[in-house]
Amino acid sequence: MASGAPSPRHLFLTGEKHIGKSTVLRRLLAGREGSVGGFRTLRIVTPQGGAIHMLPAAGDAPCTAENLLLVKGRDSEREAAARFDAMGCALLEASRGCGILVMDELGPTEALALRFQRAVLEQLEGEAPVYGVLQQAESPFLERIRTHPAVCLVPVTAENRDGLPLLLRRQGW
């Protein structure tokens, strides 16, 4: 890294679908001191395909109609974008002042959620460390996160996922 360049202060895990990115993130953050803010998404398999809920990163909030982000195969991209803009921005705003900000997970579904994208990118300019999960997908939004100078991108694989939380902690994450 060039002299004077900012060092990474935000960690994003990436990898294939269902490889364990969110599990690695949860294990990495387990037992941390300080307040945790941000969001996590939870997929629930349904006969129609699947529902995705957006929940606060900390705590055990139940999945309800109020935090239903989208239903695969039912909701349009515009409907999903409106919910990302409303729920995602509200959760990020409520997290101001937290010690660690979690973003689990970000993907191409947010393509039309421009307010949400701005809120995420603003957090990357802030001082609070962001720990997140990025889907492996092509998207200008995801590319801006991947190439942000304050972001360290770590691939999760079947080979490294079990030891990765400990390795990342030893590296200061």
CATH code of the domain covering residue 109: 3.40.50.300
* DSSP H or E segment with residue 169: helix 164-170
Q: Which pLDDT score is estimated for 26?
A: 96
Within a domain: 104: yes
Compute the distance between CA of residue 10 and CA of residue 169 in angstroms, rounded to an integer. 14
Q: How far is CA 50 from CA 19, 46, 85, 157, in A?
A: 18, 5, 20, 25
Domain count, the chain: 1
Within a domain: 3: no
What residues pair up with 43 in beta bridges, in sequence order? Answer: 52
Within a domain: 2: no
pLDDT band, residue 80 (cuts 50/70/90)? very high
Q: Please determine, for residue 167, whether its predicted confidence score (pLDDT) is greater than 80.
A: yes
Q: What is the pTM of this model?
A: 0.92
Within a domain: 86: yes
pLDDT tens for each residue of 95-139: 999 999 999 999 999 999 999 999 999 999 999 999 999 999 999
Domain span holding position 48: 10-170
**Residue 86 corresponds to which tokens in the numbers above?**
């409303």
What residues pair up with 53 in beta bridges, in sequence order? Answer: 42, 68
List the Cα angle 9/14/17 in 5-degree steps.
155
